Amino acid sequence: MKELLTMWRHTRMIILVALTAAVYAAVLIPFKAIPLIPGITEIRVAQIIPPVASLLFGPAAAWGTAIGNLIGDLFGTFGPGSFFGFIGNFFLGFIPYALWGRLGFLSSGQEPAMRNSRQVVEFVAVVLVSAVACAVIIAWGLEVLGLLPFAVLGNIITLNNFIFPAIVGPILLGLLYGRVKRWGLLWTQIMPAEDISTGRGTVGTGLAIVGSFGAYVLGNWISISGGALPFAAGFGQFGDPAVVGKASLVWALAPFMLALLLALFLCRPRTDLAASAERGMAA
């Protein structure tokens, strides 16, 4: 969390926010013409950019992805969903760098240079978590607003966010990582250690994973079963039937949304991996 705020002190990080946002929007806009859910989402080849940018530029990518998505919306699909699109895309850019090196047996324990299969596996894992987190936030938000059912949007956004980055992302990151590092533009090279949150981040990582997948599974179940949750039955009997299905989904997913919000504060990115790689090369 700390680095998400302190990054605004560094001119290079601010430029990287703008560049990430501009590149993301520039690739998003042409594909607005191929909608998957008209007015809400489209074929998004640009989804390759958030995880790659996240592992290169850290917090600048989180802000850049959110702003880039908003700019993309301004070119034809700006609407009530744009607010949740901003938050969802923020997580899309936040989770990969925040969870890199924190996924236990899935972690490579190395910098994300995409040099071996363990790094690729870890990349796919963080992309999956970020894809689901982004999808459940947007799908939940539009369910709150009553614009689209969770089951429709949650699954399409998850697939959209996952497939392209999982296949092409490692190649793009592998091509760019070494260059960006040579240019001294990795976020860990720009930001001093005192501007970055420290700690193990176990709780934050757990909350991000539980919040994402818990909301995804429960949201789909309620949405498809029509809100037949045990605790919604009484509400349905005595409350307004017009809001029963919606209320059960909105309230049932609220704790998971809270978990994702807390993850923002409790995740602790690893900044020692690039440095340890340099030490290894020097040795």
User: Site residues (CB under 8 A) for other proteins?
Assistant: 8-9, 11-12, 14-19, 21-23, 25-27, 29-30, 32, 35, 37-40, 45, 48-49, 56, 63-64, 67-68, 70-71, 73-80, 145-149, 152, 168, 172, 175-176, 179-180, 183-185, 226-227, 241-246
> Between residues 103 and 228, which has the closer beta carbon with respect to other proteins?
228
Burial (Cβ within 10 Å: 0-12, 13-18, ≥19) of residue 205: buried
> Between residues 190 and 207, which has the closer beta carbon with respect to other proteins?
190
Which two structure tokens, joined as six digits, stand for 149?
């059912």
Collapsing DSSP states into helix, strand and coil, what is residue 41?
strand
Minimum CB distance to other proteins, residue 114 (Å): 13
Minimum CB distance to other proteins, residue 22 (Å): 4
> Between residues 53 and 126, which has the closer beta carbon with respect to other proteins?
53
Cα separation, 54 vs 241, whole angstroms: 43
> Between residues 106 and 171, which has the closer beta carbon with respect to other proteins?
171
Cα separation, 234 vs 241, whole angstroms: 11
Cα separation, 50 vs 131, whole angstroms: 10
Collapsing DSSP states into helix, strand and coil, what is residue 104?
helix
Minimum CB distance to other proteins, residue 135 (Å): 17
Distance from the Cα of residue 157 to its chain's centroid: 11
Minimum CB distance to other proteins, residue 233 (Å): 14
